Chains A and B, each alone.
Chain A
């Protein structure tokens, strides 16, 4: 059941991403991208990351895409001439994208057993013993709750990256204000 829903959400995500790329209107492209991101949030739920799913809806569809749509409306980018490049550039783009896709699609063959084999170099160990940290994380999520299990390492192991992120966001705020001022 969960597998079927996951594949359906994946199909929705890929299709609306294609619509986003080939939609002439920038606003329609933004709306299709929102659909992709909501489908991805559903997939995160099935993959056992409900906190990330909530953050995906709040930050990506709620904040970043609203910012995009706000700028599109501010610049009044309605139905203008098509901004899709000419046939030569289109062919090159298609070749490069298909090459990237076929190269990355080799990842589809991965399952836990192969992952464990490539990590340890032996087939003797079962995936459950190789990935013991995952089981520990699952138990922590049951004991501390979903947010607690994510928050505990965030404020211990990953404290320095977390603080650096706050600096980055501050720099982002200042940069946006300076760039959006009347004269630069």
Chain B
């Protein structure tokens, strides 16, 4: 039942997320691309849950909880960085490059 199509759409979404993380410099857009990759993995879990039982759906539930916590903390970090450097562009935030 739509296992192949679901897995291929999930593969496409994941690679688009990879592309976004590598191609953008805006920290917030980068974060959104990470969310996109998490969503792609969630689609895989739901597609395989059709055969494995309800465990796959519960894993999606946990992924969403972790994504919510990650978004809250990550956006707070971006806010703190913005207050220091007045920019969320990763080109200007190169303190760790030494």
- The interface of chain A, by Cβ under 8 A from chain B, is 2-3, 6-7, 10, 13-14, 17-18, 20-21, 26, 29-30, 33, 36-37, 40, 43-44, 46-49, 51-52, 55-56, 59-60, 63-64, 67-68, 71-72, 74-75, 77, 83-85, 89-90, 92-94, 96-98, 100-101, 104-105, 107-112, 115, 127, 131, 133-134, 136-137, 140-141, 149-150, 153-154, 157-158, 161, 165, 168-169, 171-173, 175-177, 179-180, 184
Partner of B2, one of A3, A133, A140: A3
A-B contacts counted at CB < 8 A amount to: 241
A40 to B18, CA, bound (A): 18
A107 & B53 in contact (Cβ 8 Å cutoff)? no
Chain A positions within 8 Å of B82 at CB level = 75
Chain B positions within 8 Å of A55 at CB level = 60-61, 64
B7 & A172 in contact (Cβ 8 Å cutoff)? no
B23 & A90 in contact (Cβ 8 Å cutoff)? yes
Chain A positions within 8 Å of B64 at CB level = 55-56, 59-60
The residues in B between 1 and 56 inclusive whose CB is less than 8 angstroms from any CB of A are: 1-20, 22-26, 28-29, 31-33, 35-36, 39, 42-44, 46-47, 49-55
Asked, given contacts A107-B8, A154-B58, whether A97 binds B65 with beta carbons under 8 Å apart, the answer is: no
Asked, given contacts A14-B12, A21-B20, whether A47 binds B6 with beta carbons under 8 Å apart, the answer is: yes
Give chain B's interface secondary structure class.
Answer: helix
B32 to chain A: closest residue by CB:
A33
Give chain A's interface secondary structure class.
Answer: helix
- The interface of chain B, by Cβ under 8 A from chain A, is 1-20, 22-26, 28-29, 31-33, 35-36, 39, 42-44, 46-47, 49-55, 57-58, 60-62, 64-73, 75-80, 82, 88-89
A70 to chain B: closest residue by CB:
B75
B71 & A64 in contact (Cβ 8 Å cutoff)? yes
Asked, given contacts A14-B13, A52-B46, whether A134 binds B2 with beta carbons under 8 Å apart, the answer is: no
Asked, given contacts A68-B71, A71-B75, whether A36 binds B4 with beta carbons under 8 Å apart, the answer is: no
A93 & B22 in contact (Cβ 8 Å cutoff)? yes
Chain B positions within 8 Å of A93 at CB level = 18-19, 22-23
A109 & B4 in contact (Cβ 8 Å cutoff)? yes
A67 & B53 in contact (Cβ 8 Å cutoff)? no
A104 & B19 in contact (Cβ 8 Å cutoff)? no
B90 to chain A: closest residue by CB:
A83
A134 & B32 in contact (Cβ 8 Å cutoff)? no
A56 to B61, CA, bound (A): 9
Chain A positions within 8 Å of B75 at CB level = 67-68, 71, 176
* Closest CB in chain A relative to B5 CB, distance in Å: 6
* Closest CB in chain B relative to A44 CB, distance in Å: 5
A96 & B36 in contact (Cβ 8 Å cutoff)? no
